[in-house]
């Protein structure tokens, strides 16, 4: 069921996460990179690079997000597309076990997961499309650096031209000076 209905807006951190993955061609074959993004400040809260696109790799990105954020039970919606990895029994069971409400968009409609697609588009434009990649390890290392830069230094217009970490810090400090755009 689609609980988001293309309204990628959250009034606090850990209210809505979106997830998706992409692929990067390397000399050794494709590398798949999954992201979990907190919608409030568009912060990447989990990610994983893998040589396999089986469920485990998106589950690893989710586990990283759950461990790092420790969301309150029944207070978080997790939205994704209808990819088999996200609809798998293992993934759905893990969301339920963590007290996270699952949400999925409609079939074949990228607008139903537009915020995750936007972050992936930035990742491709700023990292992967710029060069030829030798290995999964090389992609993984560059992704690590990019996620850190994206979360802590990249200025994002929809959140007031500040980095995601700063937007979240302002929220927790009670500073409402920066309006988060819809």
pLDDT score at 75? 93
Q: Region 125-133: what's the mean pLDDT?
A: 93
pLDDT-derived band at 130 (thresholds 50, 70, 90) equals confident
Q: Region 55-72: what's the mean pLDDT?
A: 96
Alpha-carbon gap, residue 120 to 34, rounded angstroms: 9
Structure confidence by residue, pLDDT tens digits, 26-57: 999 999 999 999 999 999 999 999 999 999 99
Q: Region 162-176: what's the mean pLDDT?
A: 90
Tokens of 64: 């990283």
Alpha-carbon gap, residue 54 to 39, rounded angstroms: 25
Burial class of 15 by CB neighbour count within 10 A (0 to 12, 13 to 18, 19+): middle
Determine how many CB atoms are found less than 10 A away from the CB of residue 158.
Answer: 14
Tokens of 155: 């200025």
């Amino acid at each position: 069921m689609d609980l988001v209905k293309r309204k990628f807006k959250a009034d606090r951190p850990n209210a809505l996460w979106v997830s998706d993955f992409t692929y990067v061609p390397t000399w050794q074959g494709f590398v798949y990179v999954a992201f979990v993004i907190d919608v409030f400040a568009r912060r990447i809260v989990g990610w994983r690079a893998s040589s396999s696109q089986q469920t485990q790799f998106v589950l690893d990105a989710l586990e990283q997000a759950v461990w790092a954020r420790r969301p309150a039970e029944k207070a978080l919606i997790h939205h994704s597309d209808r990819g088999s990895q996200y609809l798998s029994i293992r993934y759905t069971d893990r969301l339920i076990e963590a007290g996270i409400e699952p949400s999925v968009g409609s079939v074949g409609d990228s607008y139903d997961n537009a915020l995750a697609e936007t972050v992936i588009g930035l990742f491709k434009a700023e990292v992967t499309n710029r060069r030829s990649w030798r290995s999964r390890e090389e992609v993984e290392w560059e992704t690590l650096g990019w996620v850190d830069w994206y979360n802590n230094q990249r200025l994002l217009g929809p959140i007031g031209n500040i980095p995601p970490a700063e937007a979240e810090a302002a929220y927790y400090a009670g500073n409402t000076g920066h309006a988060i755009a819809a």
